[in-house]
Amino acid sequence: MNTANSKHTSFSLVSKNELPFHCPPKEAQKWNMHPKVFLPFDKEGKANCPYCGAIYKLEK
The domains of the chain are located at 2-58
The amino acid at residue 18 is E
pLDDT at residue 60 in the model? 87
Low-confidence ranges of the chain (pLDDT < 50): 3-8
Q: Is 47 exposed, middle or buried (0-12, 13-18, 19+ CB in 10 A)?
A: buried
Q: Give CA–CA dist 6/40, Å, rounded.
A: 23
Instruction: Enter the pTM of the model.
Output: 0.76
Torsion region of 53: left, alpha or beta (phi above 0 gives left; psi -120 to 50 gives alpha) = left
